[in-house]
Structure 1
Amino acid sequence: MDLSEVNIALFRLVNDLGKEYTYLNPVFSFIAEYMVLLLGLGVLIIWFTRDKNSRLMILCATITFICSFIIGKISGEFHLNYQPFVELSDVNKLIEKEKDNSFPSDHTILFFSYCISFWLFKRGWSILCILLAILVGISRIWVGVHYPFDVIAGILISFATATIIYFTLPKLSVTRNILMFFEKFEGKLFQQLKKSKENKTKNY
């Protein structure tokens, strides 16, 4: 059995579960499509706690995602496979997706870029983020839009990039300068908002 056959066999193993346990399909469809919104909300909440270490973590995670995404697109130029619902018959396709190169999985890269970065910085509670990222990866197979190797490639790219960023970026002076810039910008913005509110109060 070659790698492509293994890839298809693993895909069938996961995707066919949706045919057997149909009551789970709405759950996995939600995770596959909308969990990204919860990730975005979580990132914003952590950022606006205004804790310096947390902001450093978010900055590193964001740069990890950008770099991983670029690496993923470059990887896609060297290997191409369409989504399983395009190439295979009798796929349990649960969400709408246009036909394109599904290698590697962008969703997996997004979640693992942030969640691995969270784990490197925080450990402890962030293991839940890793479990969530794994669940997202599985969901993309469950709903029929990615092969397991698409997901695994996304994980490997994100893990390698997150590790390199974690051990290099915090040591650079440019990183501190970026965070200081945002802090100054926020300080001025909050001052303007405060003045505007005080002016409105006086007018009333």
Structure 2
Amino acid sequence: MNENLFRLINDLGKQYTIVNPAVVFIAEYTVIFLAVAVLIFWCTRVNQNRIMVICGSFTFVIAEIFGKIAGKLHSNHQPFAELSNVNQLIEKAVDNSFPSDHTILFFSFCMTFWLFRGGKGAFWILLALLVGISRIWVGVHYPADILVGAIISIVTAFMVFRVVPKLSIVQKSLGIYEKGESYILPLKKDNYHG
């Protein structure tokens, strides 16, 4: 089933070659967009946005650890290294592709953004799904690599969202950081929101 679903998605790249450049861009370069978005959220200097970025970072680190454990329990190489006639559209070193690190990264942050932003966060879930599907389309991951990476991240994001914002050490550390930041980059009085 895993291989059949892979073929179904990966073969779309052979049928709809006109879409391939867009899919390659999503698979390879949306990570830059995600990094810029995280930076922008942090630089707004809004406490809620910063807690959101902290939670996303915690989620990613914890989900990666769970991902590495999952990778010890099961491993497989990328589809292009194991199957014939794969439509491989990007270069990738051959290693254990289970679960997908790319998917863990995107679902860690995008799920966190959705939890914090509610209906406004739907865009981020869509982005994470597109990135996951794109990694299958370009031939570097099986659907199971994506699915397990997404599940690990989603479960971790829920746990972190429930726990981390309530931790006094997180609030205190952020307060200390913001005091130091205000000495270096003072806020204008009319822009200060408390």
Scaled by the length of structure 1, the TM-score of the pair is 0.89
Q: Percent identity?
A: 55
Match among 73, 76, 81 for residue 76 of structure 2? 81
The answer to whether the aligner puts 1:128 opposite 2:102 as a matched pair is no
**CA RMSD across the alignment:** 0.8
Return the alpha-carbon distance in structure 1 between the equivalents of residues 21 and 65 of structure 2: 31
Match among 142, 145, 150 for residue 140 of structure 2? 145
**Aligned-partner SS, 1:145:** coil
Return the alpha-carbon distance in structure 2 between the equivalents of residues 136 and 123 of structure 1: 21
What amino acid does structure 2 have at the position aligned with 1:43? V
Once the 2 structures are TM-superposed, how far is the Cα of residue 186 of structure 1 from its aligned partner?
1.3
Return the alpha-carbon distance in structure 2 between the equivalents of residues 67 and 52 of structure 1: 22
The answer to whether the aligner puts 1:102 opposite 2:105 as a matched pair is no
Scaled by the length of structure 2, the TM-score of the pair is 0.94
Return the alpha-carbon distance in structure 2 between the equivalents of residues 28 and 16 of structure 1: 13
2:3 corresponding residue in structure 1: 8
Match among 168, 175, 178 for residue 183 of structure 1? 178
Return the alpha-carbon distance in structure 1 between the equivalents of residues 140 and 20 of structure 2: 14
Return the alpha-carbon distance in structure 1 between the equivalents of residues 81 and 180 of structure 2: 48
Return the alpha-carbon distance in structure 1 between the equivalents of residues 64 and 177 of structure 2: 24
Once the 2 structures are TM-superposed, how far is the Cα of residue 70 of structure 1 from its aligned partner?
1.2
Return the alpha-carbon distance in structure 1 between the equivalents of residues 142 and 49 of structure 2: 34
Once the 2 structures are TM-superposed, how far is the Cα of residue 190 of structure 1 from its aligned partner?
2.0
Structure 1 residue runs of 4+, over 3 Å off?
A: none
Where does structure 1 lack aligned partners over 5 or more consecutive residues? Answer: 1-5, 192-204
Where does structure 2 lack aligned partners over 5 or more consecutive residues? Answer: 187-194
Return the alpha-carbon distance in structure 2 between the equivalents of residues 65 and 177 of structure 1: 22
> In the TM superposition, what are the counterparts of 1:48-67 in structure 2 within 5 Å?
48-67=43-62
Q: Larger Cα Rg: Structure 1 or Structure 2?
A: 1
Return the alpha-carbon distance in structure 1 between the equivalents of residues 180 and 136 of structure 2: 42
